[in-house]
Structures are given as structure tokens and as C-alpha cells.
């Protein structure tokens, strides 16, 4: 945890906030919240009936004036709490307390934030109560001073927050400076993931997916062509959307299909299932797969269409892995069962000029910073297959039946075998999907540039400066794929080619 900024040194010229009359007034006030309690004294074994009585006793018998100390050290709530815990921990004398001054208060450590006594009534008061009653502060200058102090407190809090952020960032960095895992989307709070699910609430995204024939027909052909995988089985459809995969599974002979989706589209799915008289087989549940209670303990088959741009964007595979580990019966299968991610080199000088060199001369002005902004954003677009200038190389294979979350972030060395004498201006990434396991009729589809285009298109990583390459040359590189720790649904991709290195976001 971050150290809190020392309060005494940081605040200059804060005048006294109340006069002794106010203090008296506070001392005289009833202390209704704490009057029934027994409050252990800070310095002796006595327990006293209320907080105000305790402080009165501390002042009369031990010479301890809490308001004086709070003012002297300009303690805020945290400083006050730490002081009380420090006194209770160390059982220090009044002399020690009085002699404290300057920056190094002995209670500045955060260890003193921990209460020494459970429910210590002395910790349940507002420091402002100690230094004066707000109603006594009619004087505008006093209000101004208070406002100034509040601003200073806020600035210190921001400072602390910044330190905490730096500290936490340090925690997620390995000693070699590389990022550790950003965690699973299962850990996202509902409000953090709201935008994601509301994007799936609208019909248009489902229309686009359903009209993507390469995608939807592959699922259909796999299920209709391998009915033995589904016959009399219990099937879980993770992220059922309109229910299309659940209905394919039902038509393939599944005994029971459970479709789960957190987005509002599931209400349409309920109507769709009824419209097709499949409600006796398909049960639909609204909610996150990580949170819902399924009506069964285990399922035989999990189907899901979880793939995002560059395969892993959206991180929905996290949720399928969760479902697999929680619900899949021994011997059960997840489909699709295998996926690969591939890279190839691209030579498209015209497009590179249009996107990158363009910023060198914009109506006679150079805009180098714009170039710097363009490069790190991977572009999702359909690539002209004739611009591919190397053989493809697989950089990662995923087995959906065994992969763990850590396998979704990886580093891979690759070699691109160049097939044309030209300039390499970018790399292209895409993925292939396989329905293989136990299937008499295996099905696969590819999102490669030379295949029928899909709604996933391809993902293009522009090079800042084109590289001259020769046919037959082997261009070595390395790729690292990580979740963005600020948004585990987004990806950070780092490419190293020859001695040039660039980090991209896929979002």
C-alpha cells in the first residue's frame, strides 16, 4: 500500500481552525453516538463512558489535548486515526507526543491505520469535530482557509492515488519489465462489462453474424454433419445470442440444450425458440456464464462462438474456459475444439503511403505526431490477397479442451518466408477454426486473406518504415500477445521484426 503523504510538512500556514470557545463548546456537547460506550483511556487503565468524557479525562489527568495535537500536526482523518493507534500500540508517554514535530511523525506509517481495539470509539469521530464546529465558522476567511485545506487534502489524496497506481503497476510488471497477465474477464465487475454486453443487445450485430455464412454454416455443418456428437446429450451454448447454435444442437438430437447470454438479445432468443417449438429442449438463461446457476451439474458438450478480431479480441474464450472447467463432464468436449492464429507479410506501398507517408506532407505541413498515432493501432480490414508477400506462419495453436487462461497470452518466434522481391509494409494476422474432435465429418473455416471474407476480416499491423525483402528470404520476428491490463477485453500485440519493435493495440 502507498505511504500516505506526511501531513505536517505538506501544509503551509494553515491557521487555527477554532478558538478555545469552540473547543469548549465541543467538549460540552453531548456525545449521543458514543454515550453508552465504554471508552478505554489512551494512557491509563480507566474506561470512560463517552468519547468526549475520555478526552476530557485525558486532558485533565494526562495533559493530553487532542485538539491541540490535531491542529499542531494538521492531522486529517487518517493522521488522527494513525496517532490514536500509535498511542495505543506503543503506550507512549505524553512527553513523547509533545516532543514530536516536523516531517517525521512517529505514526506516519500505514501500519497504524489498523485499529488496535476493535470498534475503538475514538476512531469513529470526525477530526473536524475536534477542531471546531462548522457553524462557528461564519467568518469568510475561515471558510476560505477550510476550502484551501480541503483542496490540499484532495491534492494529497490524488498524489496518494497516483502512488498507489504506480505501485500496482509495479506489481503487474515482471522484473524484466514485461507485463504479467491482466486477469480474466470473469473478474470484471458488471458495470465494467456493461458496454460489452449492451453492444450485443442490438439486433444488428447478430444480423451481421448470422449473415456471415462462412461462420454460421460452419457451425451448422459441424452439428448437422456430426449428429452422433449431440444425440441424447446435454449441451451448453455459452453466449447463445439469438439462439442459433442452440437450435442447431437441438435439431442435431441433443436431449437438452441450455443457452446462456448476459445481453438483452436473449429475450429475442426466447421468442425465437418458442416460434420454432423448441422450448421443450432449449432452456435459456439470462446472465453471465460466470454467475448463473445452471439447472444441471454437468454438460456433455459445450458450443460457443466466442472468436473476436485476431481470434482473442473480446477475451470471450475466458468465459468458455470458465464454463468448461465448471460444467463439462469428464469425457465431454468443447467445440470448436482447435484454433490457430497465423501471420503473413504484406507489401502494399500504396496503402502504406496513404496511411503513413501521408502525414509527411499535409497541405505543405508535416505532422509526424499523427504518424506516431496511426502506427500503434492495428487495423481490422479486408486485405487484398495479392498483397500478401510471404507464406503464412502459425504463431499459436489453441486446444479449447485444454487451454488455460495463461495460454491466451503468449510470445512466439516466427519466420516469414518471403515470396516476392518487394517492400514489406505490414504484417497481417488472421485465424482458422476447427471442429475435429470425435467428428466423422470434420469442419473448418479460415479468416485468411485468400478465403471468403468474414465479419472478422483480417488484422493488419503497419510497419513504420517499409523493409526491402527478397523472394526466398526468411524474415525472422517475434510476437507477444497480451490482454490490455486496463481493459482485459482488448489486446496488446508487440511485434519485433529484425531490430525494429512496435506495440499495437487491437480494439
Nearer to ligand SAH, 111 or 207 (CB): 207
Nearer to ligand SAH, 257 or 316 (CB): 316
Q: Is 305 in the site for ligand SAH (CB under 6 A)?
A: yes
Closest CA to 108 of 118, 120, 116, 100: 100
Q: Is 319 in the site for ligand SAH (CB under 6 A)?
A: yes
Q: Is 263 in the site for ligand SAH (CB under 6 A)?
A: yes
- Cβ atoms of 449 and 388 within 8 Å: the answer is yes
Interface mask toward ligand SAH for 379-418; x: CB under 6 A: ----------------------------------------
Residues between 184 and 223 with contacts to ligand SAH, criterion CB under 6 A: 197, 200, 206, 209
Least separation in angstroms between residue 489's CB and ligand SAH is 10
In the residue annotation, 53 being an active-site residue is answered as no
With vertex at residue 231, the alpha carbon angle to CA 228 and CA 235, rounded to the nearest 5 degrees, is 110
The sign of the torsion formed by the CA atoms of 419, 424, 425, 427 equals positive
Q: Is 260 in the site for ligand SAH (CB under 6 A)?
A: yes
Nearer to ligand SAH, 263 or 454 (CB): 263
Nearer to ligand SAH, 153 or 263 (CB): 263
382, HSE (Cβ side, Cα atoms, 13 Å): 6
3-state secondary structure 192-240: HHHHHHHHCCCHHHHHHHHHCHHHHHHHHHHHHHCHHHHCCCEEEEECC
> Which cell numbers hold the place of 370?
499523427
Q: Tell me how far CA of residue 262 lies from CA of 326, 374, 439, in angstroms.
A: 18, 34, 30
Which residue has its beta carbon closest to ligand SAH? 239
List, in sequence order, the alpha helices (H) in 100-139.
127-131
Residues in binding contact with ligand SAH, number by CB under 6 A: 21
Q: Is 252 in the site for ligand SAH (CB under 6 A)?
A: no
Q: Out of 40, 79, 121, 239, point to the residue binding ligand SAH (CB under 6 A).
A: 239
Q: Is 269 in the site for ligand SAH (CB under 6 A)?
A: no
Q: Out of 69, 247, 289, 328, point to the residue binding ligand SAH (CB under 6 A).
A: 289
Q: Is 257 in the site for ligand SAH (CB under 6 A)?
A: no
Closest CA to 29 of 47, 51, 49: 51
Q: Is 262 in the site for ligand SAH (CB under 6 A)?
A: yes
Among 297, 305, 350, 464, the active-site one is 305
Helix (H) or strand (E) holding 93: none
- DSSP code for 456: T
Using CA atoms of 480, 485, 490, 493 in order, give the dihedral in degrees to the nearest 10: -20
Q: Is 261 in the site for ligand SAH (CB under 6 A)?
A: yes
Q: Is 433 in the site for ligand SAH (CB under 6 A)?
A: no
Least separation in angstroms between residue 338's CB and ligand SAH is 18
Phi, psi of 41, deg, nearest 5: -65, 155
Q: Where does this chain touch ligand SAH (CB under 6 A) — which range of 72-80, 117-125, 141-149, 283-291? A: 283-291
In the residue annotation, 305 being an active-site residue is answered as yes
The sign of the torsion formed by the CA atoms of 332, 334, 337, 341 equals negative
Nearer to ligand SAH, 243 or 429 (CB): 243
Instruction: Enumerate binding residues for ligand SAH (CB under 6 A).
Output: 197, 200, 206, 209, 239-242, 244-245, 260-263, 265, 288-290, 305, 316, 319
Amino acid at each position: 500500500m502507498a505511504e500516505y503523504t506526511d501531513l505536517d510538512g505538506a501544509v503551509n500556514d494553515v491557521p487555527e481552525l477554532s478558538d478555545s470557545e469552540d473547543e469548549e463548546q465541543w467538549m460540552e456537547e453531548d456525545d449521543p453516538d458514543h454515550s453508552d460506550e465504554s471508552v478505554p483511556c489512551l494512557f491509563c487503565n480507566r474506561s470512560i463512558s463517552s468519547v468526549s468524557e475520555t478526552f476530557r479525562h485525558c486532558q485533565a489527568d494526562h495533559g493530553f489535548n487532542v485538539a491541540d495535537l490535531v491542529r499542531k500536526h494538521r492531522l486529517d482523518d487518517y493522521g488522527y486515526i494513525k496517532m490514536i493507534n500509535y498511542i495505543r500500540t506503543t503506550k507512549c508517554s505524553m512527553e513523547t507526543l509533545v516532543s514530536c514535530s516536523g516531517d517525521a511523525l512517529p505514526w506516519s506509517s500505514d501500519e497504524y491505520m489498523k485499529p488496535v481495539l476493535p470498534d475503538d470509539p475514538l476512531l469513529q469521530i470526525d477530526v473536524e469535530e475536534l477542531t471546531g464546529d462548522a457553524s462557528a465558522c461564519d467568518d469568510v476567511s475561515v471558510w476560505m482557509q477550510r476550502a484551501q485545506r480541503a483542496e490540499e487534502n484532495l491534492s494529497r489524496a490524488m498524489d496518494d492515488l497516483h502512488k498507489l497506481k504506480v505501485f500496482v503497476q509495479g506489481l503487474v510488471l515482471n522484473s524484466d519489465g514485461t507485463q504479467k497477465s491482466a486477469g480474466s474477464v470473469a473478474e470484471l465487475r458488471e458495470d465494467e462489462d456493461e458496454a460489452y454486453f449492451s453492444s450485443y443487445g442490438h439486433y444488428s450485430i447478430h444480423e451481421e453474424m448470422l449473415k456471415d455464412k462462412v461462420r454460421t454454416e460452419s457451425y451448422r455443418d459441424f452439428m448437422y454433419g456430426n449428429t452422433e456428437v449431440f444425440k441424447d446429450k446435454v449441451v451448453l451454448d455459452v453466449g447463445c445470442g439469438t439462439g442459433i447454435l442452440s437450435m442447431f444442437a437441438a435439431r442435431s438430437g441433443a436431449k437438452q440444450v441450455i443457452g446462456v447470454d448476459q445481453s438483452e438479445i436473449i429475450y429475442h432468443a426466447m421468442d425465437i425458440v418458442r416460434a420454432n417449438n423448441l422450448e421443450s429442449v432449449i432452456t435459456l438463461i439470462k446472465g453471465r456464464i460466470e454467475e448463473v446457476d445452471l439447472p444441471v451439474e454437468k454438460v456433455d458438450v459445450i458450443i460457443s462462438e466466442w472468436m473476436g478480431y485476431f481470434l482473442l479480441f473480446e477475451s470471450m474464450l475466458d468465459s468458455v474456459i470458465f464454463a468448461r472447467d465448471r460444467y463439462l463432464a469428464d469425457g465431454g468436449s468443447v467445440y470448436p475444439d482447435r484454433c490457430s492464429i497465423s501471420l503473413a507479410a504484406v507489401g502494399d506501398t500504396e496503402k502504406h503511403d496513404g496511411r503513413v507517408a501521408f502525414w509527411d506532407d499535409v497541405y505543405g505541413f508535416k505532422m509526424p505526431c499523427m504518424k506516431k498515432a496511426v502506427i500503434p493501432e492495428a487495423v481490422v480490414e479486408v486485405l487484398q490477397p495479392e498483397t500478401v508477400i510471404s507464406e503464412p506462419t502459425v504463431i499459436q495453436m489453441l486446444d479449447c479442451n485444454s487451454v488455460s487462461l495463461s495460454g491466451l497470452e503468449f510470445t512466439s518466434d516466427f519466420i516469414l518466408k518471403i515470396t516476392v522481391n518487394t517492400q514489406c509494409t505490414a504484417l497481417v494476422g488472421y485465424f482458422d477454426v476447427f471442429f475435429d474432435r470425435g467428428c466423422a465429418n470434420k469442419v473448418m473455416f479460415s479468416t485468411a486473406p485468400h478465403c471468403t471474407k468474414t465479419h472478422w476480416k483480417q488484422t493488419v499491423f503497419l510497419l513504420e518504415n517499409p523493409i526491402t525483402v527478397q523472394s526466398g528470404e526468411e524474415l525472422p520476428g517475434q510476437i507477444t500477445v497480451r490482454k490490455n491490463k486496463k481493459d482485459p477485453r482488448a489486446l496488446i500485440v508487440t511485434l519485433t521484426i529484425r531490430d525494429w519493435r512496435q506495440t499495437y493495440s487491437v480494439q
